[in-house]
């Protein structure tokens, strides 16, 4: 393994999209930000320097951070933010990990513009478990907001109502041709007969997406940096925080083929029918030749989404075995959804909130990991409930009381215990899909379904052989997903909906994994430059 050094200068840069320009927060002046390249088992050292007025933290989404929670990045969970003029060195090892991941800011809504891809190649001499592509291409999906996103969410929080959606989706930072001003979309130049590995990253704030290419099928080979059994599809479903590697074979002779990026069932109040487009262009295609088009999946295509998720299986080969926990030490049912709390100063006298088991997580003012490591009391309590307070028909008619309680609570796990979490979507205000992300671990998705989870019959149908392994799971709209993992990473680990608006509303909690008693089973000491709150 070798050591990779990077410097991330967080700085403002004026960027022009949709016919106007505005200053945005960037890393090294780029939107999307720079790609972090490494190989399996490498040590990565990134010096992040804050040149902007806002507080900054960077999260390496999907990097396991074994015993190095200090480098994980979520603000006030594992570290205090890097303040203006300050810097912090993230130092971590990519132990046993390869594939595509993403890095992004993890404070407020900063990740709207502060994000990029992480590409971890297999160790030297180790091939991919699929035919070697001729070329690789990173495709970052995002959003473009005409307004300042922090203004958008602050105003929404004040009023108690949901914020707007973005003004456009983007492919590698480009929304596609905009009417009334000359702007180009993203183009991938291909050669007939060649195969391309697309490393697709959803770095958007608030939308799960469908990705399609006219006239071509894609072969999915990896999600969230875990190999899958290859499967062919014409539509990729990808939630924020998720990554998908897919092979594209350029099996046409000539031509231009549209790429479409369209939203899946976004926020309840706002509707979003924006589609970003790009082009696959074959070498030798004449400029005036027409572009082949494709149909766009309907915004509420839940069956399509579930079908895609059900097609994902871990590779589970002798080289890459699935290590699904077969027994469960900690079993949790987390009801996740939107609620409504009274609010005297809000526009409607109420505010939209979100919660897990009726708890709206309140951010602490000291990082949880610091409080845990140094034994600072009064920052959190460890009584996060394993079950909803009063079981109800989660996906049926909403209960009379849709209120939540505030709390900064963690759930305690013993080192190396096995954990099962059933993420149960609720229809409190309206059912919505929640792309739920767990820091510090990969988990196996052993089951999912529509409606209420049935603790007697559903486990009988769990896939404990080759379930997909990942770090972010889209819980089906009005349904549930069951995940399992081994708590072999001591520290404090965030779990939250990766739709940023839901995170802000409180759909988040943390696990506290205790140190083990053996050697190499405790949290490493914090770096000396760890920011203070
Ligand atoms: Cu990609 Cu806690 O986030």
**Is pLDDT above 60 for 530?**
yes
Query: Tokens 């699929």 identify what position?
Result: 130
Whether ipTM > 0.85 holds is yes
pLDDT in tens, 39-85: 999 999 999 999 999 999 999 999 999 999 999 999 999 999 999 99
Judge whether residue 197 has pLDDT over 60.
Answer: yes
Q: Which atom of ligand 1 is nearest to the CA of 61?
A: 1
Residue 439 CA, closest ligand 1 atom number: 2
| Cβ neighbours of residue 133 closer than 8 Å, sequence gap 6 or more | 195, 196, 197, 247
Give Cβ neighbours of residue 476 (< 8 Å, ≥ 6 apart): 302, 305, 306, 309, 425, 433, 448, 449, 450
Domain-embedded: residue 300: yes
Ligand 1 atom 3: residue of nearest CA:
61
Residues 348 and 484 in one domain: yes
Q: Is the pLDDT of residue 400 over 80?
A: no
Least confident of 209-213, 248-252, 336-340, 529-533: 336-340
Separation of CA 302 and ligand 1 centre (Å):
24
Pairing of strands 235-238, 208-213: antiparallel
Ligand 1 mean position, distance from CA 481 (Å): 19
Structure tokens at 138: 């990173």
pLDDT at 275: 81
Query: Does residue 384 lie in a domain region?
Result: yes
pLDDT at 250: 98
Q: In this structure, is residue 258 part of a structural domain?
A: yes
What number does the ligand 1 atom closest to the CA of 503 have? Answer: 2
Confidence of residue 468 (pLDDT cuts 50, 70, 90): very high
* Cβ(385) – ligand 1 distance below 6 Å: no
The first and second tokens of residue 90, run together, are 């993230």
Flag whether pLDDT at 391 surpasses 80.
no
For residue 339, CA distances in Å to 132, 138, 152, 220, 231 come to 48, 37, 20, 36, 38
Asked if residue 523 is part of any domain, the answer here is no
Whether the CB of 59 sits within 6 Å of ligand 1: yes
Contact in structure between 303 and 234 (CB atoms under 8 Å) = no
Q: What is the mean pLDDT of residues 495-520?
A: 97
| 253 plus 334 within the same structural domain | no
Residues 6+ apart with CB under 8 A from 495: 356, 436, 437, 438, 439, 508, 509, 510, 511
Ligand 1 geometric centre to CA of 61 (Å): 6
Q: Is 74 in the pocket of ligand 1 (CB under 6 A)?
A: yes
**What total of structural domains would you count in the chain?**
3
Band (271; pLDDT cuts 50, 70, 90): low
145 and 182 share a domain? yes
58 and 203 co-located in one domain: no
User: Same domain, yes or no, for 29 and 84?
Assistant: yes
525 CA distance to ligand 1 centroid (A)? 23
Strands 99-105 and 36-39, bridge-based pairing: unpaired
Q: Which domain holds residue 462?
A: 330-513
Rounded CA separation 419/229 (Å): 25
pLDDT of residue 180: 72
Q: In this structure, are strands 350-356 and 243-249 parallel, antiparallel, or unpaired?
A: unpaired
* 215 & 335 share domain: no
Q: What's the whole-number mean pLDDT along residues 186-197?
A: 98
The pLDDT of residue 153: 95
CA of 467 to the centre of ligand 1 (A): 22
**Mean pLDDT confidence for 482-511:** 97
3-state secondary structure of 476: coil
- Single out the residue of 170, 175, 224, 115 nearest to residue 500, CA to CA: 115
Centre of ligand 1 from the C-alpha of residue 132, in Å: 31
Distance separating alpha carbons of residues 425 and 406, to the nearest angstrom: 19
Assess if residue 324 is contained within a domain: no
Which one of 128, 146, 165 terminates a domain? 128
pLDDT of the residue at 268: 53
Confidence grade of residue 204 (pLDDT, cut at 50, 70, 90): very high
- Residue 220 near residue 245 (C-beta atoms within 8 A): yes
Q: Provide the pLDDT confidence category of residue 110 given band limits of 50, 70 and 90.
A: very high
> From ligand 1's centre to the CA of 106, what distance in Å?
7
Q: 295 and 375 share a domain? A: no
157 and 73 co-located in one domain? no
- Given pLDDT bands bounded at 50, 70 and 90, which one contains residue 119? very high
pLDDT at 273: 61
User: Above 60 in pLDDT, residue 162?
Assistant: yes
SS3 call for 20? strand
Q: Which atom of ligand 1 is nearest to the CA of 111?
A: 1
Measured in angstroms, how far is the CA atom of residue 116 from the centroid of ligand 1?
13
**Single residue among 87, 113, 128 that ends a domain in this structure:** 128
Considering the domain architecture, whether residues 416 and 307 belong to the same structural domain is answered as no
For residue 494 and ligand 1, the question of a CB distance below 6 A is answered with yes
Structural domain contains residue 308: yes
CA distance 499 to 165: 11
Pairwise CA distance, residues 5 & 214, whole Å: 40
What is the chain's alpha carbon radius of gyration, rounded to the nearest angstrom?
Answer: 22
CATH code of the domain containing 396: 2.60.40.420
- Please report the atom of ligand 1 found closest to the CA of residue 104: 1
Q: Are residues 98 and 5 in the same domain?
A: yes
**Ligand 1 geometric centre to CA of 207 (Å):** 14
Domain assignment present for residue 320? The answer is no
List the one residue out of 345, 436, 405 whose CA is nearest residue 157: 345
Statement to judge: residues 339 and 388 lie in one domain: yes
Average pLDDT over residues 186-202: 98
Residues 279 and 340 placed together within one structural domain of the fold: no
pLDDT tens track for 413-465: 999 999 999 999 998 777 888 999 999 999 999 999 999 999 999 999 999 99
**Domain's final residue, options 83, 101, 128:** 128
Measured distance CA(153)–CA(177) in Å, rounded: 28
Atom of ligand 1 nearest to the CA of 241: 1
Buried b (16+ CB within 10 A) or exposed e, 285-321: beeeeeebebebbeeebbebbbebbeebbbbbeeeee
Neighbours of 511 (CB within 10 A): 25
In a domain, 325, yes or no: no
Ligand 1 centroid from CA 434, angstroms: 13
Overall average pLDDT of the 313-325 stretch = 97
What pLDDT band is residue 270 in, cutting at 50, 70 and 90?
A: low
The response to whether residue 439 sits with its C-beta less than 6 Å from ligand 1 reads yes
pLDDT value of position 515: 98
Could you tell me which residue, 469 or 267, shows the higher pLDDT?
Answer: 469
- Of ligand 1's listed atoms, the one at least distance from the Cα of 62 is 1
241 lines ligand 1 (CB under 6 A): yes
Residue 496 Cβ inside 6 Å of ligand 1? The answer reads yes
pLDDT in tens, 334-353: 999 988 999 999 999 999 99
Looking at the predicted structure, is the pLDDT value of residue 475 above 90? yes
CB atoms under 10 Å from CB of 221, counted, come to 22
CB 163 within 8 A of CB 156: yes
What are 457's two structure tokens? 């019959």
Residues in the chain: 533
């Amino acid at each position: 393994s070798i050591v990779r050094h990077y410097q991330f200068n967080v700085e403002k840069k004026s960027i022009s999209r949709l016919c106007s320009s505005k200053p945005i927060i960037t890393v090294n002046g780029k939107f999307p930000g720079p790609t972090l390249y490494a190989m399996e088992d490498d040590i990565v050292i990134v010096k992040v320097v804050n040149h902007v007025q806002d507080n900054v933290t960077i999260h390496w989404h999907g990097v396991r951070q074994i015993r190095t929670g200090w480098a994980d990045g979520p603000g006030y969970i594992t570290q205090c933010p890097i303040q203006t003029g300050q810097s912090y060195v993230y130092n971590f090892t990519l132990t046993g990990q390869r594939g595509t991941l993403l890095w992004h800011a993890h404070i407020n809504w900063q990740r709207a513009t502060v994000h990029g891809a992480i590409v971890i190649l297999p160790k030297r001499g180790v091939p991919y478990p699929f035919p070697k592509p001729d070329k690789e291409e990173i495709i970052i999906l995002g959003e473009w907001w005409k307004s300042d996103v922090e203004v958008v969410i602050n105003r929404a929080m004040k009023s108690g109502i949901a914020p707007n959606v973005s003004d456009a989706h983007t492919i590698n930072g480009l929304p596609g041709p905009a009417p009334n001003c000359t702007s180009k979309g993203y183009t991938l130049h291909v050669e007939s007969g060649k195969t391309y590995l697309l490393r697709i990253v959803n770095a958007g704030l608030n939308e799960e997406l469908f990705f399609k290419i006219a006239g071509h099928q894609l072969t999915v080979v990896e999600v969230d940096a875990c190999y899958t059994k290859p499967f062919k599809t014409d539509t990729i479903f990808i939630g924020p925080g998720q990554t998908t590697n897919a092979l594209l074979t350029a099996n046409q002779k000539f031509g231009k083929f549209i790429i479409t990026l369209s939203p899946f069932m976004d926020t309840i109040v706002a509707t979003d029918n924006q589609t970003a487009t790009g082009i696959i262009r074959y070498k030798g295609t004449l400029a005036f030749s027409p572009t082949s088009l494709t149909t766009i999946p309907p915004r509420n295509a839940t069956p399509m989404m579930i079908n895609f998720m059900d097609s994902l299986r871990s590779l589970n080969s002798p080289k890459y075995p699935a290590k699904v926990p077969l027994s469960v030490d900690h079993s949790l049912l987390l009801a996740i959804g939107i609620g409504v709390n009274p609010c005297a100063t809000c526009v409607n006298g109420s505010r939209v909130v979100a919660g897990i088991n009726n708890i709206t997580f309140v951010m602490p003012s000291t990082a949880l990991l610091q409080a845990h490591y140094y034994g600072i009391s009064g920052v959190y309590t460890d009584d996060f409930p394993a079950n909803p307070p009063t079981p109800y028909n989660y996906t049926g008619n909403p209960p009379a009381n849709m209120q939540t309680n505030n709390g900064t609570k963690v759930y305690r796990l013993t080192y190396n215990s096995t954990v099962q979490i059933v993420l149960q979507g609720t229809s409190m205000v309206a059912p919505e899909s929640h792309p739920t992300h767990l820091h510090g671990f990969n988990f196996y998705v052993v089951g999912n379904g529509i409606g209420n989870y049935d603790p007697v019959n559903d486990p009988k149908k769990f896939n404990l052989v080759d379930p997909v392994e990942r770090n972010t799971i889209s819980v089906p709209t009005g349904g549930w997903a069951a995940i399992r993992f081994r708590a072999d990473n001591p520290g404090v680990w965030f779990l939250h909906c990766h739709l940023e608006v839901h995170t802000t509303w409180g759909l988040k909690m943390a696990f506290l994994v205790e140190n083990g008693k053996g050697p190499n089973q405790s949290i490493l000491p914090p770096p000396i430059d760890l920011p203070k709150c």
